[in-house]
Structure 1
Amino acid sequence: MNHHLQNSDGRRILKASPKFIQRPELWGFIASLAMFVLSGNLSTCHAQSRFATQSRTAAYHPTSAQLPTQFPKLTRSGVSPGNLPDRLEQTSLSACSRGLMSASDFLFYQSLARDARLSHRKCSKREVQIIWQHYQSQIQQIAKRLNMASGSSGPSVFEQESCAIRFALAESAVQIAQLTEDSSHIEAARLREIGEAERWVSTVRQRMNLGLASPFELASAEARLAKSRQLPLAEQIAPWTKYLAWQSASFNGRQSGAINAISSAQLSVNALQLENALDAERLTEVERLCTAACQFSEDQFAGTLNSVSQPNLALPQLVRSLVLRDQMLRLQEHLPAEASQSGRKRFDADWSILNSIAASTTDRRGRIGADCIAVELCHASFSASPQD
């Protein structure tokens, strides 16, 4: 969850410092939990993958109770991405600029490209800073275009997207400020982040009053505000528990789209609890939460496949689901108990399905080109030897 700004594969004996845990750096992880809400039916795709897929179960050999100095990144350490990060950035920027991709998907793909660069090799502090500044510059391009669109159309559909983008900019500013180790700079960045989170919550509430935003979107914004303020765990989880209680009493909760949203909410709760368990060195709870996150993600992958009529339209949700599950499985490898071999085998099976969907997608105009490049980048990551 935390994209800690050190080299990508430093290790330490399990001792999570307050400095590590209190950082609001769950973006890469929480971004991968964002909306998977889809509807429809899926016809199963059996096309042959153009990527060589093989089981990676045998590559995992947990040997100690060590944990990385940061939560696993979206991509594995030692990944050799080639020019895939550049291509993913460019295609997702183009798609989002033309209104073909949501801010959520754009930010996830930019984070995936960023982490591929951070994970490629050990980076100096200056190199890490450059990578984060580049990531920030990509987001700024969309921020400018959304601001122009919002200004030309009044309080429009772009307003909420703009809030999400501005919050991501503020979050990245915190990351960059932490590299300077300048307390006044860090404090200013944190205050900006809180301000953008407050603005986001206010915007979503206004749009909800007009019937233009969902309870899920409100819970997401409120949870980010609580996280930015570094409130106690119970208060960070409260927006999600309120949302889940509302869904349990709602008829909509039995519909396929709502089921995926509920799963996303449960994963968000799980992420916050996992960070807290790491801080307290509760290894048994960390293992339980990792296992639960894998199961939530696995169920969501299956649920997404069963809820869309065209498989290639589900690529962003399926990629997020597998990236998250790979993070959890990598984290499990640093726990005393051996990670589930069957869990890795099920991951491999789902990865083969995703490969087949991407390989069968011949029309890659619009945003689908970015989705397929994201699958290629995942292939490079999942094929790398686990070193996190």
Structure 2
Amino acid sequence: MRSKPLSYTALIKQAPHLLIFGFLMTFSSSLGQTFFIGAFGPSIQNEFKLSHSEWGSIYMIGTLLSAACLPWTGQLIDRFKLKNYTFFVFFGLCASGLFISIVPIAWLLIPVIFCLRQSGQGLTSHIAVTTMAKYFSINRGKSIAIAALGYAVGESFLPLLVVLAISVFSWRQTYGIATALLFLIFFPLVMWLLSKSSKDGLKNADENTATNKKESETVKSWTRQEMLRHWRFYLIMPAVIAPSFIGTALFFHHLTLADAKGWSAIWITGSYWVYAVGSVAASLFFGPLIDRISAVKAVPLFLIPKIVALLIIWNFSNPYWAWPYLLLLGLNVGMMYTGITALWAELYGPKHLGSIRSFVVAITVLASALGPPCMGFLIDGNISVETICFIFASYCTGAAVLIKIGLANVKPQ
């Protein structure tokens, strides 16, 4: 008989090292995430004399290059030992942080952004979430939720710390300090945790009874090519890319949005803890929900909070509306972090999950690359942030309808 999903407490007791590894990897990915890089945006623009659209275009090109590489670099997680793969990715992340802290001229920002996005947003996150989805089955939702808390923790206080640090140090020194902490503390820690997990037995991370193992062997695992030949994938993807395109655009231009609304930079970045609360709450709730009713049934709900958040910006300007706006954005992201990878595992099986997820991540990274320049061009074209958010909300509404249709009558594996 198939074992029941564990509680969060029991799951953490059963596989503490692997779960903490996942958490620290997502937190460490902050160095290459938009919410972190975006906090340096005004300082970088001032030093290199860049307009909103120029800075956004540099960010787009670097991110597009990262997206082009991800289908190849991401699938390597299916071929190499996890410990070796993690070592090279994390080392690359630290090298990228050093690179941006010493970049001398504007055009070098393109390879700098490429390196940060590839190693941080791309592969460090990919390792964390794919590892959780591969080595957990009946507790997949909760394991991904625990790992995803690293995103929320980073998003909650790092942007404010960056703004405060830049007011004391230079932006270069601030990035250098962050990189040094990552290299000296987090790098050895994640490698130790992974080593401990390997000794504990990675494949025993979940509650693998003989029955569960037998069931997992009968699951059909789709290849990337099989997935691309099926129509369902194309109905799901508009919803999947929405948080990357819209969320990245908003966070990249949050200081500009705040200025348009009459909010201070300290107010918007200091309120990111509300975003984190929403993200954590959604992750912790959505994980058990997925384990209970499946990602196929739960995921179609995840765009609703983002639609409401965008309509808030469309309608209201009082500074206190920043809190429900950020809370709802956090709910959307928490549901996405927990649900989307679990959805791929349920639809297409675990065997080729690294290859499938890296391809999907490449598309979402492409979307995240297009978001900032698109919004930047609209802002430079004197389109109000209210109108932009209404357009975004309309897109999300259409995407929510498509994913509901795409997942109708699907039986999860």
Which structure's relative contact order is higher, taking Cα pairs within 8 Å and 6+ residues apart?
1
The TM-score with structure 1 as length reference comes to: 0.31
Q: Counting helix residues as a fraction of each chain, which structure ranks higher?
A: 2
